């Protein structure tokens, strides 16, 4: 069995220039669902 | 795309993020979900919604931060990037002091600081330690700031564009009706883990999967089969639960007023909580009064001692709608046997016992091939199943059982207890022999108890072989008539199975003390002893270090002076399915042949658990003062009618050992070998 442990994490190396990234987001699609709640 | 001029304060924050020894102190991230018809929002102008309103866009807001990760070898490099764009589906993120690492795999996560760990492997792809809080704040039309989770994978090089993919599912609802204005809390219960700690895995082909029983340690919340939404609720407005994607066969919504009185809504349908989708269940009408009793729940016992009740739940399985009264009658009968047995009898005033009805479409239970594969399917509420001749694979859909009980047990609904603290028994409307308890390292349990022989008599024998002595591993011999006569023979019925599985394994967290045949192994460790909620302390793997040494063996003279039956205490070889290399406290007990007798050490362990769960403190002297040593088999008398019944009893082998689910290491004890 695989045992998960916290990996070693280091800060990325230091340089002087600034960096730009463009990030886009996925949309949520909407589904309608009748839960059919049991009448108490 | 416009350029971003980073304010000095953000640049300073980014710099601090690049110093390994200093935790970055950065503003919390935010994402908003906005639906098509959402109005009066400052993000309205940047929506990208189709005409039908079947999509909700995720908008970046100023101050949002992502964490860019570079996986190389066994190391993971990271840096935070921030945006000052506001209300936009696409935003520019910046960071000083970053450059690509050579020969790395890149990914990014949002929010930057909400993950417990990261891992990449060429075979499995990316693994993220994701945490979904089981208590969330209600936000009209959206979700709590920083609650959404999303990932972007970039492969072996980072281009300027990252496409974030949602990692969670949302459940949307509205409330209406005369009671709606008084709702101040809503709780979703599912038959699966929908919140807490989990692993989110993105394969190299981009497929998402989720693992809810392994984690990056330490845990923040553990597993949760519920999400609680707190705050203000306006009738007719959209609210969302954020969950781990999964399927739940049946679910419940519980609505609370300010006094924590509830209105319950239960569904038997399969709820699909799908990644990056909003499941909209529409408007839930709340026209009843808060505080009405759940018709599924029969309160059979009420506690009068302890600051917190010790709760047991007995649940129907394989009973149709017309058989629910039969279930209640059988459940009461079984609970009476449990509380007619020490120490439960003496400590019964600490307990609340709930009998919980559940309607199945068919009577009985499914039949397997003895190896977990169903050969004859019965449409029952919880899918109980086992082999026709081999019952070591006995189980049910346990997460579904735990969700069902969680949504109906009053103390769990009040937040006083969790399902980890409420032992559950399934009474299964099936006349076959069997019995097995599923137990977890976190304290959960389901004892599976069939209505064997429709209540007819059953008898169990002492094992056929026995250790040659109690100290060495020097072999075993066939059990002699004198050895059998000393312990007596157990007679009873299916309720003794209930006692063993529920009172022994489920609530008492006791291991079996029988063995079957001459096999054993030489290992001395019992892994369940080290579980977060320890299990199996009634059995030792080391003769010279038994857990009952200090309390019982070291006080044996005083105990025997008080009651000669304490002379039954010792260190007897055999237990946990092994004839050698395991030791038990007394020669015979319920954990061998299901009699209405727990050994002294078993009684102490059960009482300790009662005291712990009831918020009371355990006192050895108090325990001894009220302890009862009577064994009805050896110390009672048998009537002539009982002797006649015994002669016709079904002679059965031992019940199956528990199914162990170990959440602490990810490596549980293997399933037993089929016999």
Residue B431 is inside which H or E element, if any? none
- Asked if residue B13 has pLDDT above 70, the reply is no
**Closest Cα of chain A to B202: distance in Å?**
15
**Closest Cα of chain A to B531: distance in Å?**
16
CA count, 13 A, side-chain hemisphere, B485: 3
Q: Say yes or no: B70 contacts chain A, CB-CB below 8 A.
A: yes
Task: Choose between B21 and B319: higher pLDDT.
Answer: B319
Set of chain B residues whose Cβ sits within 8 Å of the Cβ of A20: 3-4, 92-94, 160
Q: What ipTM goes with this model?
A: 0.81
B residues 141-180 near A, CB within 8 Å? 150, 152, 158, 160-166, 170, 172
Give the one of B18, B158, B199 whose C-beta lies nearest to A11's C-beta. Answer: B18
Mutate to test the interface with B, among A3, A13, A25 (most CBs of B within 10 A): A25
In this predicted structure, what is the pLDDT of residue B663?
77
Tell if the CB–CB gap between A25 and B53 is shorter than 8 Å: no
- Asked if residue B41 has pLDDT above 70, the reply is no
How far apart are the C-alpha atoms of B204 and B501, rounded to whole Å?
44
Tell if the CB–CB gap between A11 and B77 is shorter than 8 Å: yes
Q: Say yes or no: B94 contacts chain A, CB-CB below 8 A.
A: yes
- Asked if residue A39 has pLDDT above 50, the reply is yes
Q: Say yes or no: B205 contacts chain A, CB-CB below 8 A.
A: no
B residues 355-374 near A, CB within 8 Å? none
How far apart are the C-alpha atoms of B550 and B556, rounded to whole Å?
10
Q: Say yes or no: B74 contacts chain A, CB-CB below 8 A.
A: yes
Contacts of B444 (CB under 8 A, 6+ apart): B398, B402, B419, B420, B424, B438, B661
For chain B, give the mean pLDDT: 87
**Closest Cα of chain B to A2: distance in Å?**
7
- Give the pLDDT band (50/70/90) at residue B119: confident
**Closest Cα of chain B to A18: distance in Å?**
4
How far apart are the C-alpha atoms of B462 and B129, rounded to whole Å?
49
Q: Could you tell me the domains of chain B? A: 8-285 (no CATH), 298-661 (3.40.390.10)
Whether a cis peptide bond, with omega within 30° of 0, leads into B500 is no
How far apart are the C-alpha atoms of B580 and B572, rounded to whole Å?
10
The rounded Cα B40 to chain-centroid distance in angstroms is 43
Closest to B463 in 3D by CA, of B337, B286, B582: B582
Condensed to tens digits (0 to 9), the pLDDT of residues B364-417 reads 999 999 999 999 999 999 999 999 888 999 999 999 999 999 999 999 999 999
Q: Is B196 helix (H, G, I), strand (E, B) or coil?
A: strand
The token pair that represents B7 in the structure block: 């304010």
- Give the pLDDT band (50/70/90) at residue B26: very low
When pLDDT is averaged across residues B82-86 and rounded to a whole number, the result is: 86
The token pair that represents B426 in the structure block: 């399934």
In this predicted structure, what is the pLDDT of residue B230?
96
- High-pLDDT (> 70) share of chain B, %: 88
- Asked if residue B45 has pLDDT above 60, the reply is no
Tell if the CB–CB gap between A2 and B96 is shorter than 8 Å: no
**Closest Cα of chain A to B232: distance in Å?**
23
Tell if the CB–CB gap between A9 and B55 is shorter than 8 Å: no
**Closest Cα of chain B to A13: distance in Å?**
6
Give the one of B281, B288, B666 whose C-beta lies nearest to A3's C-beta. Answer: B666
The nearest alpha carbon in chain B to A8 belongs to: B75
Mutate to test the interface with B, among A6, A12, A17, A34 (most CBs of B within 10 A): A12
- Asked if residue B124 has pLDDT above 50, the reply is yes
- Give the pLDDT band (50/70/90) at residue B101: low
Mutate to test the interface with A, among B106, B252, B278, B527 (most CBs of A within 10 A): B278
Contacts of B73 (CB under 8 A, 6+ apart): none
């Amino acid at each position: 069995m695989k045992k998960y442990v916290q990996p070693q994490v280091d800060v990325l190396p230091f340089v002087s220039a600034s960096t730009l990234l463009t990030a886009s987001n996925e949309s949520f699609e909407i589904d309608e669902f009748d839960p059919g709640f049991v009448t108490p | 795309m416009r350029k971003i001029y980073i304010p000095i304060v953000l640049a300073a924050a980014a710099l601090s993020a690049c110093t390994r020894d200093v935790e970055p102190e950065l503003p919390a991230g935010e994402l908003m979900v906005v639906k098509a018809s959402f109005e009066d929002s400052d993000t309205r102008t940047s929506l990208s919604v189709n005409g039908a309103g079947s999509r909700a866009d995720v908008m970046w807001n100023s101050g949002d931060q992502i964490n860019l990760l570079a996986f190389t070898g066994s190391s993971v490099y990271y840096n935070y990037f921030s945006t000052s764009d506001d209300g936009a589906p696409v935003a520019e993120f910046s960071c000083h002091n970053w450059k690509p690492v050579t020969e790395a795999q890149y990914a990014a996560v949002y929010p930057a600081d909400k993950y417990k760990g990261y891992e990449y492997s060429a075979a499995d792809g990316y693994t993220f330690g994701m945490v979904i809080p089981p208590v969330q704040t209600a936000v009209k039309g959206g979700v709590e700031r920083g609650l959404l989770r999303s990932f972007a994978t970039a492969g072996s090089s980072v281009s300027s564009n990252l496409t974030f993919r949602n990692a969670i599912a949302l459940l949307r609802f509205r409330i209406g009706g005369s009671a709606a204005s008084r709702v101040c809390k809503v709780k979703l219960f599912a038959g699966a883990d929908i919140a807490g700690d989990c692993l989110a895995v993105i394969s190299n082909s981009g497929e998402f999967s989720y693992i809810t029983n392994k984690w990056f340690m330490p845990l923040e919340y553990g597993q949760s089969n519920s999400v609680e939404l707190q705050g203000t609720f306006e009738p007719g407005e959209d609210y969302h639960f954020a969950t781990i994607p999964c399927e739940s066969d049946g679910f419940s919504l519980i609505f609370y007023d300010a006094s924590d009185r509830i209105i319950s809504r239960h569904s038997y349908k399969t709820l699909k909580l799908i990644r990056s989708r909003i499941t909209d269940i529409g408007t839930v009408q709340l026209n009843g009064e808060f505080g009405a009793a759940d018709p599924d729940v029969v309160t059979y016992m009420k506690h009068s001692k302890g600051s917190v009740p010790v709760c047991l739940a007995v649940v129907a399985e394989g009973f149709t709608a017309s058989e629910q009264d039969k279930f209640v009658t059988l459940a009461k009968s079984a609970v009476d046997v449990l509380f007619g047995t020490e120490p439960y009898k003496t400590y019964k005033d600490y307990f609340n016992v709930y009998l919980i009805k559940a309607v199945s479409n068919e009577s009985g239970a499914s039949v397997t091939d003895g190896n977990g594969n169903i050969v004859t399917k019965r449409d029952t509420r919880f899918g109980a199943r086992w082999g026709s001749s081999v019952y070591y694979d006995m189980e049910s859909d346990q997460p579904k059982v735990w969700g069902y009980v969680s949504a109906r047990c009053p103390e769990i609904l009040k937040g006083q207890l969790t399902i980890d603290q409420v032992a559950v028994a399934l009474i299964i409307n099936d006349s076959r022999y069997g019995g097995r308890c599923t137990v977890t390292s976190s304290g959960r349990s389901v004892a599976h108890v069939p209505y064997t022989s429709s209540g007819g008599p059953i008898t169990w024998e002492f094992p056929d072989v026995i250790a040659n002595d109690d100290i060495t591993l020097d072999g075993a011999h066939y059990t002699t008539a004198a050895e059998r006569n000393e312990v007596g023979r157990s007679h009873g019925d299916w309720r003794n199975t209930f006692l063993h599985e529920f009172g022994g394994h489920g609530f008492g967290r006791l291991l079996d003390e029988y063995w079957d045949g001459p096999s054993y192994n030489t290992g001395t460790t019992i892994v369940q002893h080290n579980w977060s909620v320890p299990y199996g302390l009634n059995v030792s793997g080391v003769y010279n270090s038994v857990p009952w040494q200090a309390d019982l063996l070291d006080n044996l003279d005083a105990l025997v002076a008080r009651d000669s039956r304490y002379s039954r205490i010792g260190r007897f070889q055999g237990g946990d399915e092994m004839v050698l290399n395991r030791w038990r406290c007394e020669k015979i007990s319920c954990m061998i042949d299901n009699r209405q007798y727990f050994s002294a050490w078993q009684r102490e362990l059960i009482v300790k658990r009662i005291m712990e769960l009831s918020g009371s403190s355990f006192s050895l002297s108090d325990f001894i003062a009220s302890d009862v040593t009577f064994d009805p088999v050896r110390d009672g008398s048998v009537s002539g009618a009982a002797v006649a019944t015994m002669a016709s009893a079904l002679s059965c082998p031992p019940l199956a050992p528990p199914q162990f689910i170990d959440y602490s290491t990810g490596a549980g004890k293997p399933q037993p070998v089929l016999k």
